[in-house]
C-alpha cells in the first residue's frame, strides 16, 4: 500500500525539471523586456540631449546660411531710450513735454569697404534730396577751399582743392592719433612700412591718402581710372570719418547716428526700402521742450 501511494521518483524529477525550465524561460523573457526598455530609454535620453544642444547652439551662436557679406553680423543689443513723462501744473496744463525726433543710423553688418562706400553715397544723395543736412566732424579738420563751400559736391565732377582747418601742431596730433589714422611723424619713421605712413603736411596729399590707402574708396591707383569724382569721394569720407570716430560703438553693433531730425517721409522711405539699405535703421529719441508761460 505504501509503495503504491508514493509518487514515482522519476515523475517527481521530471516535474521539477519542467518547473525549472518554465521559470528560466519566464526569467529570460523578463530580462529581455528590461533590456529593451533600457535601450529605448537610452535612445530617448540621447535624442533629448541632441535637441537640447542644438537649441543651445542656435541661441548662443545663431545660424548664418547666407553667404553675402551684407547679411553677416553678430548678435547684439540696442539701447532704446524711453520717453520722459510730461510735466503738468495743478490745473493739468503741460509745463514740459517730450517731442519725438527721428534719425537715420547705421549698424555694422560686416559689409565690405566697397559696399559700405556705395551705401554711404546713396544715403548722402537721399539726405540731399530730402533736405536733411548731415554734419561730419571731418570738416573741422579737412575741408574744400572756400570757393567750393556751400556747393553741392555730389554734382561737381571737377577736381577739388583742400585745406586744413586747424593749426599745424593740431593737425599733427590729429593724424598721429592711434584711435584715428595712427600716422608717424617723418623724423620718427625708421622702417619702410613706417615711412609709408608719415604725416601728410599737404592737405591734398592727405586727401589722396584717405582716398587710396586709408578708406580705400578708390582701389585702383595705378590705372588712373576712378569710381567716384572728388566731390563724391569727399562726401563718402565725411560719413566714413563719422563712423571712424565712433568705431567702438560701430564694431560692437551699436547704431551710429548719421543724420538727426529727419522728416517722416524719409523715415517712411527707409522703412519701406530697408532691403536696399542693409544696416540702415530709423532711431527715435526724445527731446524735452518747455512750454511758454
Contacts of residue 60, Cβ cutoff 8 Å, sequence gap at least 6: none
Confidence of residue 154 (pLDDT cuts 50, 70, 90): confident
Q: How far is CA 79 from the centre of its chain?
A: 14
- Residue 10 pLDDT more than 60? no
CB 243 within 8 A of CB 256: yes
Give the three-class secondary structure for 290.
strand
- pLDDT tens for 125-143 read 999 998 888 888 999 999 9
Of 248, 272, 270, 251, which Cα lies nearest the Cα of 259? 270
Model pLDDT, residue 202: 95
Q: How far is CA 18 from the centre of its chain?
A: 78
Cα gap 136→238, rounded to integer Å: 5
What average pLDDT does the structure give for the chain?
80
Phi first, then psi: give them for residue 236, nearest 5 degrees: -60, -40
Model pLDDT, residue 68: 34
Mean pLDDT across 45-55: 84
- Residue 65 pLDDT more than 50? no
Model pLDDT, residue 66: 39
* pLDDT-above-90 percentage for the chain: 33
Higher pLDDT: 54 or 26? It is 54
Mean pLDDT across 166-186: 94
- Residue 22 pLDDT more than 60? no
- Residue 25 pLDDT more than 60? no
Confidence of residue 85 (pLDDT cuts 50, 70, 90): low
- Residue 73 pLDDT more than 50? no
Model pLDDT, residue 95: 66
- pLDDT tens for 235-264 read 999 999 999 999 998 988 889 999 988 888
Model pLDDT, residue 26: 55
- Residue 181 pLDDT more than 80? yes
CB 99 within 8 A of CB 261: no
Amino acid at each position: 500500500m505504501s509503495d503504491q501511494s508514493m509518487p514515482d521518483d522519476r515523475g517527481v524529477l521530471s516535474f521539477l525539471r519542467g518547473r525549472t525550465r518554465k521559470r528560466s524561460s519566464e526569467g529570460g523573457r523578463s530580462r529581455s523586456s528590461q533590456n529593451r526598455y533600457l535601450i529605448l530609454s537610452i535612445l530617448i535620453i540621447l535624442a533629448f540631449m541632441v535637441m537640447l544642444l542644438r537649441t543651445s547652439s542656435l541661441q548662443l551662436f545663431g545660424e548664418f546660411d547666407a553667404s553675402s557679406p551684407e547679411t553677416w553680423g553678430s548678435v547684439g543689443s540696442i539701447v532704446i531710450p524711453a520717453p520722459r513723462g510730461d510735466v503738468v501744473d495743478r490745473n493739468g496744463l503741460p509745463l514740459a513735454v517730450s517731442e519725438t525726433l527721428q534719425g537715420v543710423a547705421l549698424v555694422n553688418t560686416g559689409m565690405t569697404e566697397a559696399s559700405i562706400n556705395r551705401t554711404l553715397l546713396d544715403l548722402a544723395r537721399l539726405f540731399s534730396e530730402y533736405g536733411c543736412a548731415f554734419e561730419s566732424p571731418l570738416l573741422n579738420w579737412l575741408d574744400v577751399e572756400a570757393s567750393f563751400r556751400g556747393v553741392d559736391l555730389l554734382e561737381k565732377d571737377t577736381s577739388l582743392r583742400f585745406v586744413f582747418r586747424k593749426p599745424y601742431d593740431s593737425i599733427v596730433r590729429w593724424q598721429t592719433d592711434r584711435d584715428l589714422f595712427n600716422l608717424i611723424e617723418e623724423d620718427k619713421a625708421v622702417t619702410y612700412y613706417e615711412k609709408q605712413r608719415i604725416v601728410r603736411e599737404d592737405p591734398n596729399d592727405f586727401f589722396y591718402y584717405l582716398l587710396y590707402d586709408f578708406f580705400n574708396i578708390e582701389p585702383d591707383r595705378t590705372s588712373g581710372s576712378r569710381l567716384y569724382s572728388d566731390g563724391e569721394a569727399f562726401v563718402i569720407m565725411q560719413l566714413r570719418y563719422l563712423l571712424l570716430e565712433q568705431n567702438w560703438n560701430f564694431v560692437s553693433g551699436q547704431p551710429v547716428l548719421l543724420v538727426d531730425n529727419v522728416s517722416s517721409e524719409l523715415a517712411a522711405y527707409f522703412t519701406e526700402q530697408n532691403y536696399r539699405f542693409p544696416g540702415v535703421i530709423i532711431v527715435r529719441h526724445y527731446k524735452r521742450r518747455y512750454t511758454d508761460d
